[in-house]
Structure formats: C-alpha cells, structure tokens
Structure 1
Amino acid sequence: MARPRTFDEEAVLNRAMLLFWRKGYEATAMSDLVEELGLGRGSIYAAFGDKHQLFLRALGRYLDHQTQLLTTALDEEGPVLPRLRDVLDRLLAADAACGNAGCFSVNSIAELLPHDTEVGELARRSTASAEEAFTAQLERAARDGELSPAITPRDAARLLQNLVQGIQIMRKVDPDPAHAASCLDSAFALLSSPAQTAAADGGALAAAGVR
C-alpha cells in the first residue's frame, strides 16, 4: 500500500515552475530540483514523473494562470481597447514579478521548439485560446466603432499576441518598462478608429483649456 504524501503537491509544483522559469529546462538539473523542492529524487519521480513530465506540469500551471487572468479581465464591462490594454499591462507585470526572466511560455517555446512536441501542443492550445478571446473582444470593438476599419479583428488579435511575445523577449535585453509601454501605446493608437482617436484628442485639448 502506497504511503500518503506528506507535502503540498500544489506548493511544490509552484516552486518547480519558478525554478524552470528562472533557469530554463536544460539548465535545470535534477539536483537543482531536489534542492529547490526539498524532496528526494524518489519522491519527485513518484509524484510527478521524470524531469520532462514535471516541466510539462509546471508549464501547464503557468498557462492555466495566464488563461484565468485573461478570462477574468475580459469579463469586465466597458470600452474594449482600454480594457485590452489593461489586460496586456497585467500580463507583462505578472511576468516582470519573476525578476524580468521573461515569459515562461515564450522562453520555453524559444528553447524547446520545434523538437519538443508536447511543449508545442501546450503552447499551441494556449495561443489559440488567447487568440479566440482577443478576437471576440475585438469583434465587439469593431461593432462599437472602436477598432480601425483598416484591420480585421482576427488580424488585430494576432498583432497584439505577437507584439506582447516580442516585448517579452526584448525586456530580457532592456527591462525598462517605459519602452514596453511605448510599444503598446503605438499599437493601440494604430488599432483605434480615426473617430475614436479624434474624440480622445479633442477631450484632452478641452481638459487642457485649448479651443
């Protein structure tokens, strides 16, 4: 009869996720996991399988958290484009909290694809889910006159996804948050309809007392 586990599996998995996030898959040795998790090799294998299986569970945990954050934020009411901008700010801020190690998902894609099919499948499912969520919101933005008619909601969703992934890579070179904010400002200015941009500019001028 197997003995019951005497550790919090979720807490251990969270520590493994942070370790893989900081060091990457290849650079994380089993000895690193033993030290970080405070468990013997036998306990790790029994609970999580080998290093690769533990990594997949850690990456899945990260992606689930990102999906939950995205879904919760997009449930809010109000104009779409400002809310999407806020969502991206939150995603970038959450990743920055891990010492500017970048996005765990983007790092894993860069390190392990195209050779690791299981990581690839996790990444594709997560990307597709985010694209659908963004597209649905941007379709409403188009109906409400927020989105520029020069771009389709689907293409705008892909643009935002690729922009954020690129920002995650560049922040490892230059972590200045002002640069990431400037990129997002430019993207959303391009996505906004001319009428929305004109209204925003007019409101700013009125607030400043300019006629």
Structure 2
Amino acid sequence: MARSVEFDQEAAIQKAMEVFRKKGYSATSMRDLTEAMQINSSSLYNTIGDKQELFVRAVQCYTDSRKRDLDERAAASTSALEILKNYIDYSVYNIVSETDGCMAVKMAFEVATSDERVKAVLKKDSDNQYEFIRKHIALAMEQGQIANDESPELLADYFLSTWSGWNESYILHKDVDKIKRMARYFIRQLSK
C-alpha cells in the first residue's frame, strides 16, 4: 500500500522560494529544495511536480506576496504622495536589507528570457507595480501634491526603470547611502 503524502504545500513552496531566491534557479539542486522543504523527492514529484513546476509556483508565491503588500499600502493612507513616499522608502529598505535581493529582478534576467511561464508571472507582477505607482502619481496630481507637467505613465515607467537600476547598483557597490540619496532625489523630483 502506498504511503500518503502529507505536508503543508504552501509552507514548503515558501521554503523553496527562499532557496531559489538565494541561489538562483540554475544553481539550485533538487537536494537543496527537498532539504529546505523537509520532504523527500518522491513527495515533491507526486504533489508539485519537477523543479521547473516548483520554481514557477515559488515565483508566483513571491509575486503574490508583493501584490498583497501593494494592496495594504494603498489602503494605508488617503494621501497619494505619502503612499508613494512610503513605497519608495520601503523599496530602498528592501534593496539594502534583503541579503538575497529582489527575486523578481534576479529571475527576470536568469529565467524569464527563456521560460514563458515565468516571464508571464513576472510581467503580471511588473504590471501590478506599474499600475500601483501610476495610479498614486495620478491621484497625487489630482490632490495637488505633485506637479502634473508629466504624464503619470511616464513617471511610473521612469520609477520602475530607476528602481531596477538601484537594485543593480546596490548589488555591485553595496553603497547604502548612494541608494538612499537616489531615492530622496526621486521623491524631490516628484514633489516639485
């Protein structure tokens, strides 16, 4: 009689996500994953599937948590500019304090160029980030908190590109003050 496979899949996927985030997709072995998830390989294959399927689910788990964070931030204040400032400050905090970096940024370069499912998950995440920023820039303009001499779409695109650059800069230079100065500059530019 076959043994039933019982484990908390969500918790296991969360643990796998941390391994992928730290090591990347290519450098992560099945052994790394099963050890972190505290399951045997047959349980993994029987419930979730192979490494690729687990990876897609781990990336989805990561981006789902980012979406929940955006929703919570949107509900946190009535001031669109304050929501944007808090988001930018939190982005800087994540860049300089997360030892393994942003999984979305890392995986966009490592895997999304060759895996359409991962690319679709990361594109949806990027679209969510963009829409959050665009919406709050537009609201801040309506509330008279920032000038409306540029389109919210352009400013949202600019921020996302800038934020990716901050990630790269921190990975290469590990200069916390540099990232904070760039964030303050961006906020000043918005606030003019």
TM-score by length of 2: 0.91
Counterpart in 1 of 2:67? 67
* Structure 1 counterpart of 2:125: 126
**Residue identity in the other structure for 2:151:** T
Structure 2 counterpart of 1:22: 22
The Cα offsets for residues 145-198 of structure 1, whole Å up to 9 and x where unpaired, read as 2222331111111111122222122221223332211111111111223xxxxx
CA contact (8 A) 1:34 1:41 kept: yes
Letter in 2 for 1:150: D
Aligned alpha-carbon RMSD (Å): 1.9
Identity %: 26
Secondary structure of the 2:77 match is coil
Per-residue Cα deviation, 1:1-48 (whole angstroms, up to 9, x for no partner): 975433222211111000000000001011211222222111111121
3-state SS, counterpart of residue 26 of structure 1: coil
> CA distance change for structure 1 residues 172 and 21 in 2, over 3 Å: closer, same or farther?
same
Q: Determine the structure 2 residue equivalent to 1:200.
A: none
Question: What is the match of residue 174 of structure 2?
Answer: 175
Pick closer, same or farther for the CA change 1:83–1:104 going to 2, 3 Å: same
Secondary structure class of the residue paired with 2:11: helix
2:162 corresponds to: 163
Report the Cα distance in structure 2 between the residues aligned to 1:22 and 1:56, rounded to whole angstroms: 16
Could you tell me which amino acid in structure 1 is paired with residue 11 of structure 2? A
- Residues 1:160 and 1:2: Cα distance change in structure 2 (over 3 Å): farther
Query: Partners of 1:74 and 1:180 in 2: how far apart?
Result: 24
In structure 2, what is the equivalent of residue 36 of structure 1?
Answer: 36
Q: What's the offset of the Cα at 1:88?
A: 2.6
Q: Which deviates more, 39-48 or 89-98?
A: 89-98
Retained in 1: the 8 A contact 2:95–2:170? no
Give the partner amino acid of 1:162. S
After TM superposition, give the deviation of residue 120 of structure 1 in Å.
0.8
**Structure-1 separation of matches of 2:34 and 2:66:** 27
In structure 2, relative to structure 1, the CA distance for the partners of 1:85 and 1:2 (3 Å cut) is farther
CA distance 1:97–1:2, change in 2 (3 Å):
farther
Number of residues of Structure 1 aligned to a counterpart in Structure 2: 192
Q: Distance in 1 between matches of 2:191 and 2:71?
A: 22
Q: Distance in 2 between matches of 1:30 and 1:92?
A: 33
- Going from structure 1 to structure 2, the CA distance change for 1:35 and 1:116 (only over 3 Å counts) comes to same
Q: How far did 1:80 drift?
A: 2.0
Counterpart residue identity of residue 55, structure 2: F
User: Structure 2: any 5+ residue segments left out of the alignment?
Assistant: none
- Residue 135 of structure 1 corresponds to which residue in structure 2? 134
Rg larger for: 1
Match of 1:48 in 2: 48
The whole-number CA distance in structure 2 between the counterparts of 1:103 and 1:92 is 11
Aligned-partner Cα distance in 2 for 1:97–1:188: 20
CA 1:19/1:136 → structure 2, altered by over 3 Å: closer, same or farther?
same
Is contact 1:142–1:149 with CA below 8 Å preserved after alignment? yes
User: For the Cα contact (< 8 Å) 2:92–2:180, is it kept in 1?
Assistant: no
User: Deviations 1:85-127 (Å, cap 9, x if unpaired)?
Assistant: 211322443465542x211000000112322111111111111
